[in-house]
Structure formats: structure tokens, C-alpha cells
Amino acid sequence: MAVDLLLGLQWGDEGKGKIVDVLTKNYNIIARFQGGPNAGHTLEFDGIKHVLHTIPSGIFHPDAINLVGNGVVIDPVIFKKELDNLQPFNIDIKKKLLISRKAHLILPTHRLLDAASEASKGKAKIGSTLKGIGPTYMDKTGRNGIRVGDIEMDGWRDKYRSLANKHEAMIDFYNVDIQYDLAELEAQFFDAIETLQELTFIDSEEYLYQAQRDGKTILAEGAQGSLLDIDFGTYPFVTSSNTTAAGACTGLGVAPGKIQEVFGIFKAYTTRVGSGPFPTELFDEYGATMGKVGNEFGATTGRPRRCGWLDLVALKYAVRVNGVTQLMMMKGDVLSGFDKLKVCTAYNYKGEKIKHLPYNIEAENVTPVYTEMPGWKEDLTKMTSVDQFPKELNDYIAFLEKELETPIKIVSVGPDRTQTIHR
């Protein structure tokens, strides 16, 4: 059987958690392939809102297995909190949640290093979630990291100590004012490691290979978004993993030829949290309304998200880099009542009109060229089928499909599981 893949096409927070939850009924296994607790994936059903950071978004379904893949970085302290939040739901965690032995661990000093690095950058800071993501992936590629499989073996604490000592020296090197009590942080860390040790660790690439042979259906769940990809995003204002389709192969050990559907998910407008260029960002009433109606606050850090019109130049780039086969448009309901909608279809770049994403998309290099469309007045949140859609929404969707040369198969009209319309 093939593996399907769901990933965000913008700067994250497109609604991946919601759609993975909606699609889980079609799959046996949901597998996260990159990122870590910088992610905040929200899902809602039966009037309850859940936010997951590391645990895949299929965890509330009775039959699905949820796998944390080798490409993910795990903070045991945050992981333990996530498990605590799941306790009221009586989920058989030992059976339903599997963890790759090759996933790397975020140490308390990785978090401190993240804070020190950001503080040292001043105004040029990335706007990191300060979860230690960058330093942990640096230790992974620098071949110094500690993996989940290590904590099954004796002697890993020596490796921990020498790495933490090195990190402390590095924190001193940054010479910034970071207050911390490492003994306290380590007490929490080792306590959480004990919880982690009670879970099921597996050789996940072998597990997924056998699952495919046995005809099991697998959905790979991405975190962040394509424009935060370490290679293809708006570097250096990106995260430290490959958020694009290829990341699912390296983050799970799935062969490229086994990937079938690539579901690309985007908001009907654009948001970004943290620093970095954002050509269609709005500083007017339209942007403020998107933020307010869309409740655009980071699910991990609570920071307000920057809002702007849909950027088709960037979206087209993401569709191509990922080989998206089906699109899903989220949060169309937020745009109800807008007298007009604008969609960026090209950039003015150094006196020239271009339709591709150039190397630099900072405001001094790029001005968006917009196509204006009429908005719709109707409230979409109670609609249950495409037949109820206003003409202006259908026109908006048709325009995007034509520009992106890819069908929009799901339109989401609210945060709840049920507010999902298939086309």
C-alpha cells in the first residue's frame, strides 16, 4: 500500500491538525515525520478543543496507530504534559502511540541555547518558539545528538552530561543575560524521561515497511509549513527541518516511490507568526479582521499571528516543490462579510513583473500585484454541502484551482470536525 502525505503550504498553522483528525478514519497509521513541540496542532470535536504538539493528530480515533517518526525531535517534558492532557480520554497509549528509536531528544540546554541565540541576534531574531528546535537539529546533523534508543541503554547519562556541559559553555559564549536553574530543569527532564521510558519504542522504518506489505494505510502528518522549510523556506526565518514532501521520506524511512497522494493545505488568506518577510501582510482593517475573526494566535506560544491576503506566487511555489495532488482550503468562513478580496498573482521585483518566488522577498525587493474579487456576505459555518456556497466563494475557489492547476477537494468552514465540506 502507498503512503499519503498531508502538509502545510504556507508559514504553518494552516489547519493540519483539524484535517488529519478528519482524515484519520481512512487510515490505519498516522505518522509525524518532522518538527517537534514548536508545532501546535488544534482539533475540535464534541465541543472540546485539543492542542497537540508532538503527538500525531490521529490519537483520538479508537483504531488508528500514531507514530512519532525518526525525523521528529522530542522534548520529554512537553511530551509528558501532552500525555497528562490525554489522560481523561482513556487512550491505550502503550498500544496506540509508537515512538521511533531514531527520534532525537531535546535537552533542557537545547532550549536555553535557543533563547541565548535569539537574545544575541537582537532585532534580527528568528522569532523562534524557543522550544530548542534549532539547537537539537544542529546536534543531530553535527552527530552529537541523543536519541530515544539511547535511553534504553546503560551509560547514556554520561553522554548527556558531556553534551550538557558543552552546551553550558556555548551559552556562556553568547554572553547574554539568560537566567536559569539547570538543576531544576534537569530534575524535570529526568522525571519526564522515566515517563517516556514506559512507552513503546520501535524501529519505525521496519514497522512502516511491514505495515505497507500488510496492506495498511498510512498518512504522514507534516508540521510547520513549506515556507518554513530549512531549504525552500524564507531562510534564515525558517525552522530547522524539511517541512516539504521529501521530509516525509527521510523523516519516516518511506521510499519516494511509495508516496501517493500529497494533500496540500492552505488558509484562504495568509498568516505568519515570528519574524521574516511576508509580502502580502496587511496593516489595515482587513488584516485586523482576519486576526480577530480567525482567532489568529499561535497555538504554541499565544503570539498574535501576522495576517495578509492570499499569496498565489508563494502558494504555487509550495504546490510545485511538494508535488501536491489535492488542495484543501481552510478558514474561508473568516472572509465572510469582506466587501472585496485580493489575491496576489505576481510580484513587482526590481522593476519587473514576475510570477515565481525570487531569492529575496523582503518588502524592499518585492511589491505584490493583486487581482481583486468580490467577497461574499453569507455565513459559511453552518453550511454542509457545496450546493449552499455563494457564487462569489465558488468563483474564488475556481480562480485558485485554475491558477494552481490543482483541485481543491476540501473546503473547511469552521474549526470543528463536522465543519468540513468535500467537493
Binding site for ligand GDP (CB under 6 A): 8, 12-18, 39-42, 44, 294, 299, 330-331, 333-334, 412-415
Using CB under 5 A as the binding criterion, the count of chain residues that bind Mg ion stands at 3
How many CB atoms are located within 10 Å of the residue 77 CB? 20
Which positions from 319 through 358 interact with ligand IMO, judged by CB under 6 A?
none
Q: Give the containing element (helix H, strand E) for 156.
A: helix 156-174
Q: Shortest approach of ligand IMO to residue 279 CB, angstroms?
A: 16
Q: Which is nearer to ligand IMO, 37 or 287 (CB)?
A: 37
Q: What single DSSP character describes residue 21?
A: H
| CA 151 to chain centroid | 27
13 among known catalytic residues: yes
C-alpha cell at 295: 482567532
Packing angle of the helix pair 391-404, 312-322 (nearest 10 deg): 50
Considering the complex, state which of residue 106 and residue 328 has its C-beta at the smaller distance from ligand GDP.
Answer: 328
What, of Mg ion, ligand IMO, ligand GDP, none, does residue 415 touch, CB below 5 to 8 Å by kind?
Answer: ligand GDP
With H, G, I as helix, E, B as strand and everything else as coil, classify residue 267: strand
- Residue of 4, 21, 41, 333 marked catalytic: 41
Spatial contact of 56 and 221, defined as CB atoms under 8 Å apart: yes
**Smallest distance from the beta carbon of 372 to ligand GDP, in angstroms?**
23
Instruction: Convert residues 35-64 into a mask of x (bound to ligand IMO by CB under 6 A) and - (unbound).
Output: x--xxxx-----------------------
Residue whose Cβ sits closest to ligand GDP: 42
How far apart CA 333 and CA 344 sit, in angstroms, is: 20
Nearer CB in complex with ligand GDP: 65/299: 299
Residue 8 interacts with ligand IMO (CB under 6 A)?
A: yes
Find the residue with minimal CB distance to ligand IMO. Answer: 274
Q: Which option in ligand IMO, ligand GDP, Mg ion, none does residue 44 bind, with CB closer than 5 to 8 A by kind?
A: ligand GDP
Distance CA 260, CA 273 (A): 31
Span 275-314, contacts to Mg ion by CB under 5 A:
299
Shortest CB 126 distance to ligand GDP, Å: 18
Residue 134 sits in the site that holds ligand IMO (CB under 6 A): yes
The DSSP result for 53-104, as a single string, is: SSS-TTTTSSS-EEEE-TTBEE-HHHHHHHHHHHGGG---HHHHEEEETTPE
Concerning whether 172 is annotated as a catalytic residue, the answer is no
Cβ proximity to ligand GDP, 230 vs 299, nearer residue? 299
Asked if 22 interacts with ligand IMO (CB under 6 A), we say no
Strand, helix or coil at 406?
coil
| Ordered DSSP codes for 171-223 | HHHHT------HHHHHHHHHHHHHHHHTSEEE-HHHHHHHHHHTT--EEEE--
Q: Cα dist. 381→337, 377, 391 in Å?
A: 13, 12, 16
Q: How far is CA 102 from the centre of its chain?
A: 20
Please report, as residue ranges, which positions from 262 to 291 form the binding site for ligand IMO (by CB under 6 A).
Answer: 273-274
40 is a site residue for Mg ion (CB under 5 A): yes
Nearer to ligand IMO, 38 or 204 (CB): 38
Binding site for ligand IMO (CB under 6 A): 8, 11-13, 35, 38-41, 126-129, 131, 133-134, 223-225, 228, 237, 239, 273-274, 299
Catalytic sites, residue numbers? 13, 41
